[in-house]
């Protein structure tokens, strides 16, 4: 449903006289670019932490990937309209939380959107709408209300044939959350998991200063909307300015409205601050679909969640507690 872009710049402050230092590793996982930052006593110690985080994210990928035929998610999709599939409680709970977000956003977020993935092409080759019959056929099997969970038996059943679930709009955020949790349990006092733009932080830098990020202006990347301190927070930025389609002079985002099967329009980027990357990930998608006015109305009702929205014309819309200092 969406992809991530590096709109967020991490600023590190000097700390050369301190015993602990910041270490960083870049890697590719879940089909995306990830980077892991940890506060550690040595490179050797940091390397051990990196391997722990990578193993955890690979475990998540093997559980939720709809591209791996051996995953439980693929088994659910293969048995759509046929029978329930027994899954780990972890996956059951992730699907349950996804359905809860679908209810809050009135279907703007829906993990059963996966059936429409192959219809729209945002690689620069397409300049016209897909056939209406294809869009309508896909939309008919997109409905979070047709996902049946049995908590006692730990099963998931997609009621309609050809239904599919996918975690493209929440999975990387969930992986970032899980990697953060396991590193905290291992004693890492501070760090950042950046899952291709789905960023989760904890602790502080070695000089006891908070992690800071700058949200860049998508219309002029030499400018930003100011520095923001992160206090054990997640932040996700999603944008359409590098991946979109123009039809009859109208710009459409690569993020699809699961209720209509049509690309969203009107917004260039959405940044969400939230306690967890999973939530921020899902809400960033939802705001694109709902639009800035309805989206902000929802955001302002959710505790500890804030948003910065850049519309197509460059104007800003922000939630109540966001203070933009510069552009």
Convert the pLDDT of each residue in 250-282 to its tens digit: 778 788 899 999 988 889 999 999 999 999 999
Per-residue buried b or exposed e for 104-137, using 16+ beta carbons within 10 Å of the residue's own CB: bbebbbbbbbbbbeeebebeeeeeebbeeeebee
Angstrom distance (rounded) from CA 234 to CA 277 = 5
Tell me the pairing of strands 250-253 and 256-257.
Answer: unpaired
Over the stretch 76-115, which tens digit does the pLDDT of each residue have? Answer: 999 999 999 999 999 999 999 999 999 999 999 999 998 8
Are 278 and 269 in contact by the 8 Å Cβ rule? The answer is no
- Find out whether 298 and 290 touch, Cβ atoms under 8 Å: yes
pLDDT value, residue 119: 83
Give the burial string for 303-321 (b: 16+ CB within 10 Å, else e). Answer: eebbbbbbeeeeeebbbee
Per the CB < 8 A criterion, the answer to whether 119 and 261 are in contact is: yes
Q: What is the mean pLDDT of residues 180-199?
A: 95
Q: What is the pLDDT of residues 204-250, one digit of tens each?
A: 999 999 999 888 888 888 888 888 999 999 999 988 766 778 888 87
3-state secondary structure of 27: strand
Strand partners, 10: 213
How large a percentage of the chain has pLDDT more than 90?
69
The confidence score (pLDDT) of residue 253 equals 79
Position 10 pLDDT exceeds 60: no
Domains of the chain, start order: 8-47+172-318 (3.10.520.10), 72-158 (1.10.3980.10)
Q: What is the pLDDT of residue 325?
A: 56
The number of C-alpha atoms within 13 Å of 214 and in the hemisphere containing its C-beta is: 16
Q: How many CA atoms lie within 13 A of 224 on its CB side?
A: 14
Residues across the chain: 327
Residues in Cβ contact with 192 at an 8 Å cutoff, skipping those fewer than 6 apart: 10, 35, 36, 37, 199, 200, 201, 211
69 has pLDDT over 80:
yes
DSSP state of 130: P
Residues of 253-276 as b/e, b for ≥16 C-beta within 10 angstroms? bbbbbbeebbbbbbbbbbbbbbeb
Instruction: Please give the pLDDT value at position 18.
Output: 56
What CA–CA distances, in Å, run from 166 to 4, 169, 181, 215, 326? 16, 8, 23, 28, 38
DSSP 8-state symbol, 21:
E
């Amino acid at each position: 449903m969406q992809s991530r872009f590096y709109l967020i710049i991490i600023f590190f402050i000097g700390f050369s006289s301190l015993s602990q230092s910041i270490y960083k590793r870049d890697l590719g996982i879940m089909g995306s670019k990830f980077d892991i930052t940890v506060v550690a006593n040595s490179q050797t110690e940091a390397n051990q932490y990196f391997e722990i985080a990578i193993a955890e994210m690979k475990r998540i990928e093997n559980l939720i990937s709809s591209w791996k035929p051996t995953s439980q998610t693929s088994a659910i999709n293969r048995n759509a309209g046929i029978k329930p599939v027994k899954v780990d409680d972890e996956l059951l709970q992730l699907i349950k939380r996804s359905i809860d977000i679908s209810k809050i956003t009135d279907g703007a977020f829906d993990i059963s959107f996966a059936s429409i993935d192959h219809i729209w092409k945002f690689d620069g080759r397409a300049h016209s709408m897909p056939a209406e019959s294809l869009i309508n056929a896909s939309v008919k099997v997109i409905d979070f209300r047709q996902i049946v969970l049995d908590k006692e038996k730990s099963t998931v059943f997609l009621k309609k044939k050809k239904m599919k679930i996918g975690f493209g709009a929440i999975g990387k955020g969930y992986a970032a959350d899980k990697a953060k949790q396991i590193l905290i349990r291992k004693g890492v006092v501070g760090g950042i998991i950046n899952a291709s733009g789905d960023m989760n932080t904890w602790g502080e830098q070695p000089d006891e200063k908070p992690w800071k990020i700058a949200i860049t202006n998508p219309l002029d990347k030499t400018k930003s909307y100011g520095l923001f301190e992160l206090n054990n927070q997640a932040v996700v930025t999603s944008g359409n300015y590098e991946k979109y389609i123009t039809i009859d002079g109208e710009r459409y985002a690569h993020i699809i409205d699961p209720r209509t099967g049509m690309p969203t329009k009107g917004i260039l980027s959405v940044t969400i601050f939230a306690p967890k990357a999973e939530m921020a990930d899902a809400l960033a998608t939802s705001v694109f679909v709902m639009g800035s006015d309805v989206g902000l109305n929802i955001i302002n009702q959710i505790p500890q969640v804030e948003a910065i929205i850049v519309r197509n014309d460059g104007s800003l819309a922000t939630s109540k507690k966001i203070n933009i200092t510069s552009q």
